[in-house]
Amino acid sequence: MTLPPFFSYASSSLNCESVALSQVADQFGTPSYVYSKAAITEAMSAYLNALGDHPGMICYAVKANSNLAVLQLLAKLGAGFDIVSAGELARVLAAGGRADKVVFSGVAKKREEMVAALEAGIHCFNVESVAELELLAEVAQELGKEAPVSLRVNPDVDAKTHPYISTGLAENKFGISMEHAYQAYAFVHATEGLRVIGIDCHIGSQLTELAPFKDALDRVLDLVDRLREAGIVLEHVDAGGGLGVRYKDETPPDITDYVRALKGPLAARGLGLMLEPGRSIVANAGTLITQVDFLKTTEKHNFALVDAAMNDLLRPALYQAWMDIKPLEVNSDVTEKAWNIVGPVCETGDFLGKDRRLALSAGDRLAVLGAGAYGFVMASNYNTRPRAAEIMIDGDQMHLVRERETVADLFKHEHLL
344 within some domain: yes
Report the distance separating Cα 254 and Cα 399, nearest Å: 30
Question: Final residue of a domain: which of 259, 277, 295?
Answer: 277
Overall average pLDDT of the 384-405 stretch? 98
pLDDT tens digits, residue range 183-196?
Answer: 999 999 999 999 99
pLDDT of residue 215: 86
**Residue 258 sits in the same domain as residue 324:** no
The pLDDT, as a whole number, for residue 168 is 40
Residues 257 and 301 in one domain: no
Mean pLDDT of 132-151: 97
Beta-bridge partner residues of 82: 61, 103
Q: Are 227 and 337 in a shared domain? A: no
- Output the pLDDT for position 162: 41
CA distance 203 to 167: 5
Strands 302-306 and 325-327, by their bridges, are unpaired
- Whether residue 249 contacts residue 212, with contact meaning beta carbons closer than 8 Å, is answered with no
Write down the mean pLDDT value for the chain. Answer: 93
Looking at the fold, whether 134 and 245 belong to one and the same domain comes out as yes
> pLDDT for 75-97, tens place per residue?
999 999 999 999 999 999 999 99
- Whole-number pLDDT of residue 1: 58
Residues 337, 232 within the same domain: no
Would you call 229 exposed, middle or buried from its count of C-beta atoms within 10 A (0-12, 13-18, 19+)? exposed
Mark which of 243, 277, 311 sits at the end of a domain: 277
Whether residue 260 sits in one domain with residue 403: no
Residue 73 domain-assigned?
no
Among residues 243, 262, 277, which one ends one of the domains?
277
Q: Is there a single domain that holds both residue 297 and residue 397?
A: yes
381 falls within a domain: yes
Whole-Å CA distances, 399 to 242, 387, 403: 29, 17, 10
Structural domain includes residue 415: no
Residue 95: inside a domain: no
**380 or 172, which is more confident?**
380
Identify the active-site residue in 16, 124, 201, 346: 346
Residue 411 pLDDT: 96
256-286 in b/e burial notation, b at 16+ Cβ within 10 A? eebbbbbbebbeeeebbbbbbbbbbbbbbbb
Cα Rg of the chain (Å, integer): 23
Residue 146 sits in a domain whose CATH number is 3.20.20.10
Is 16 designated active site?
A: no
Does residue 258 sit in the same domain as residue 124? yes
Q: Determine, yes or no, domain membership for 75.
A: no
Residue numbers of the domain that contains 395: 7-36+283-410
Question: Quick check: is 53 in a domain?
Answer: no
Q: How far is CA 398 from the centre of its chain?
A: 23
Structurally, how many domains does the chain consist of? 2
Domain co-membership, 307 together with 269: no
- Could you tell me if 224 and 299 lie in one domain? no
Q: Are 258 and 387 within one domain?
A: no
23 pLDDT more than 60:
yes
| Whether residues 375 and 330 fall in one domain | yes
Q: In angstroms, rounded to a whole number, what is the distance separating the alpha carbons of residues 18 and 21?
A: 9
Average pLDDT over residues 28-46: 98
Whether 145 is in a domain gets the answer: yes
106-121 as b/e, with b when 16 or more CB fall inside 10 Å? bbebeeebbbbbbebe
Indicate the pLDDT class of residue 210, thresholds 50, 70 and 90: confident
**What CATH number corresponds to the domain at position 295?**
2.40.37.10
- Determine the pLDDT at residue 169: 45
Residue range 144-184, pLDDT digits in tens: 999 999 999 987 765 554 444 444 444 555 678 888 888 99
Amino acid at 321: A
